[in-house]
Structure 1
Amino acid sequence: MPAAALKPKPTRKPMRTQSTARRPALLDSPYAPVEKRALPPGRPREWYVTHNRRLKAMRLAIALLDMGVYLPDQARNDRIRSAAETIGVHPPSETTCHMVRALMRYAR
């Protein structure tokens, strides 16, 4: 038998998880929203529209996940719009609803 076959494999330490970490994870700290900054000037109007639409779609996707909607097929326009009402944002357009489903689809 070769000598390499007789050597025991080194044991790897398990990765620290939230429960075994010495310091509390950031998720354990109370939530404080990030300070808002002004958007960069000089971009075309369409860039700002798309940027805000993406932010809204992300907020809605997170709200749907919190409500127990995990699949894009479960997220119909009426359900997305009711989630928007729940979190206090204006009802999304067809394009934003489509973007929410795309985020849910590709985040898997």
Structure 2
Amino acid sequence: MLIDLPYTPLAKRPLPAGRPRDWYITHNRRLKAMRLAIALLDSGVYAPTQAHNHKIRATADMVGIHPPSDTTCHMVRALMRYSR
């Protein structure tokens, strides 16, 4: 199947109300980690041992995402490790 249109993201929907604050923090952190992991894979970083905190933060700056915390950097490496 030939795709001739560029990728367009789906329309964002509001998050469900009534959850604890920690749920929203974890949810947004996971989304950020996934975006960063995809950006690292696209840039040629395929192993979690290559993805140091400095490299992840530089990629975030290049993509236009706020610099991630140490916890988010750890999640990025975990996603890269278990994606196989």
Which bracket does the TM-score occupy, shorter chain normalised?
A: over 0.9
Query: What root-mean-square deviation, in Å, do the aligned CA atoms of Structure 1 and Structure 2 show?
Result: 0.8
Residue 41 of structure 1 aligns to a residue in which SS?
A: coil
1:72 maps onto 2:40 in alignment: no
Deviant stretches of 4+, over 6 Å = none
In structure 1, C-alpha distance between the alignment counterparts of 2:9 and 2:66, rounded to whole Å: 20
Residue 42 of structure 1 aligns to a residue in which SS?
A: coil
1:41 maps onto 2:23 in alignment: no
1:86 counterpart (59, 62, 72):
62
Listed as ranges, the gaps of 5+ residues in structure 2 are none
In structure 2, C-alpha distance between the alignment counterparts of 1:67 and 1:52, rounded to whole Å: 23
Counterpart residue type for residue 59 of structure 1 = R
How do 1:58-69 residues align onto structure 2 when only pairs under 5 Å count?
A: 58-69=34-45
In structure 2, C-alpha distance between the alignment counterparts of 1:104 and 1:81, rounded to whole Å: 15
In structure 1, C-alpha distance between the alignment counterparts of 2:75 and 2:36, rounded to whole Å: 10
Q: Name the structure with the higher helix share.
A: 2
Q: Which residue of 1 aligns with 2:81?
A: 105
In structure 2, C-alpha distance between the alignment counterparts of 1:86 and 1:62, rounded to whole Å: 13
Q: Deviations over 1:59-88 (max 9, x none)?
A: 000000011000000000000000000110
Listed as ranges, the gaps of 5+ residues in structure 1 are 1-23
Structure with bigger gyration radius: 1
Shift of 1:30: 2.0
Counterpart residue type for residue 76 of structure 2 = V
- How many residues were matched structurally? 83
1:55 counterpart (25, 31, 34):
31
